[in-house]
């Protein structure tokens, strides 16, 4: 009888283990994967690198890895919601259409929360507040500019589809505005090669640029009467989700609620420290 009871107990324990394992497999299979799009070419917000150093994330469909501020924020959102993370590399002008069509769940790519974009997508956040600045070469005649009026007549450009190009550069008197560049690296190369006298961008992009290009410097007009005139939406950086996707919108905002402006700035500082230093 004792032997029979021992066998039955052993069988019961095995059955329990199998049931727990089965439940665990089902839970793992049901775990949500957040599909996030970004350029993977916009340091320090996001970039691509050859290896998985510094906790980078594999880029879907490619052999390289994504890292940067946007990846760090995406990971925090996924950790808060117990989600898996997948990163997709898309061109800047393909980001919002990818959300609209459901190709990805959201875009975390340094996008300003402009009224125009908010007609196309819903924005969670902000997850950063970015001051708008200009970049010049150290030996430029515009290097001592104190206001945007001091940039009058200069040759300039910025990145395509940004408020820097569409809203800010036109505020500079008699500026010779060249065609917008397809990417942030192309914008910086235009300045480095002397194609333009200055470019307009945001502070994190500029801070990363002066590390990669020591011959550049930042012109910050914030707090002066000669600053760019922009709205809160222009400097607030948000996470775009498909219109009406309140479940994802609320989950992202819930993950961001406990973070302060100082927290965001500290994460950005970490991203700038590990960005690839390259003039390519």
Instruction: Please report the DSSP string for 59-107 in residue order.
Output: BTTSSSEEESHHHHHHHHHHHHHT-EEEEEE--GGGHHHHHHTTSSSEE
Amino acid 152: pLDDT: 98
CA atoms of 59 and 61, how far apart (whole Å): 6
Tokens of 167: 């809203």
Q: Give CA 88 to chain center in angstroms.
A: 12
Amino acid 46: pLDDT: 96
Helix, strand, coil shares of the chain as percentages rounded to 5? 40, 25, 35
Q: Which residue has the tokens 């974009």?
A: 117
For the chain, 280 residues long, give each residue's pLDDT as a single digit of tens.
444 445 445 545 554 544 545 554 444 458 899 999 999 999 999 999 999 999 999 999 999 999 999 999 999 999 999 999 999 999 999 999 999 999 999 999 999 999 999 999 999 999 999 899 999 999 999 999 999 999 999 999 999 999 999 999 999 999 999 999 999 999 999 999 999 999 999 999 999 999 999 999 999 999 899 999 998 888 899 999 999 999 999 999 999 998 999 999 999 999 999 998 654 4
CA atoms of 71 and 49, how far apart (whole Å): 13
Give DSSP secondary structure letters for 151-191: GTT-EEE-BTTSHIIIIIGGGSTT-EEPPPBSSHHHHHHHH
CA atoms of 88 and 109, how far apart (whole Å): 11
CA atoms of 97 and 111, how far apart (whole Å): 14
Amino acid 278: pLDDT: 53
Amino acid 82: pLDDT: 97
Domains and CATH numbers, the chain: 31-129+233-274 (3.40.190.10), 132-221 (3.40.190.10)
Statement: the pTM of the whole predicted model exceeds 0.85: no
Amino acid 76: pLDDT: 97
Amino acid 6: pLDDT: 52
Amino acid 13: pLDDT: 54
Amino acid 30: pLDDT: 80
């Amino acid at each position: 009888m004792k032997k029979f009871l021992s066998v039955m107990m052993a069988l019961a324990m095995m059955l329990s283990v199998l049931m727990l394992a089965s439940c665990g497999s089902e839970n793992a299979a049901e775990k949500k994967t957040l599909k996030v799009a970004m350029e993977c070419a916009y340091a320090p917000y996001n970039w691509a690198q050859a290896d998985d150093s510094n906790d980078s994330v594999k880029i879907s469909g490619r052999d390289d890895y994504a890292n940067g501020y946007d990846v760090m924020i995406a990971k925090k959102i996924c950790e808060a919601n117990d989600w898996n993370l997948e990163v997709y590399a898309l061109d800047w002008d393909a980001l919002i259409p990818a959300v609209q069509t459901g190709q990805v769940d959201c875009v975390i790519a340094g996008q300003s929360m402009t009224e125009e974009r908010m007609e196309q997508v819903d924005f969670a956040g902000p997850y950063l507040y970015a001051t708008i600045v200009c970049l010049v070469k150290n030996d430029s005649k515009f290097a001592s500019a104190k206001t945007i009026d001091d940039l009058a007549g200069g040759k300039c450009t910025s990145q395509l589809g940004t408020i820097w190009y569409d809203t800010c550069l036109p505020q500079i008197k008699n500026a010779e505005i060249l065609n917008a560049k397809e990417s942030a690296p192309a914008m910086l190369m235009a300045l480095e090669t002397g194609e333009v006298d200055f470019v307009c961008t945001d502070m994190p992009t500029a801070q990363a640029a002066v590390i990669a290009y020591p011959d550049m410097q930042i012109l910050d007009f914030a707090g002066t009467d000669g600053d760019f005139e922009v709205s809160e939406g222009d400097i607030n950086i948000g996470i775009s989700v498909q219109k009406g996707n309140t479940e994802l919108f609320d989950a992202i905002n819930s993950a961001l609620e406990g973070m302060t402006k100082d927290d965001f700035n500290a994460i950005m500082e970490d991203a700038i420290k590990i960005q690839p230093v390259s003039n390519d």
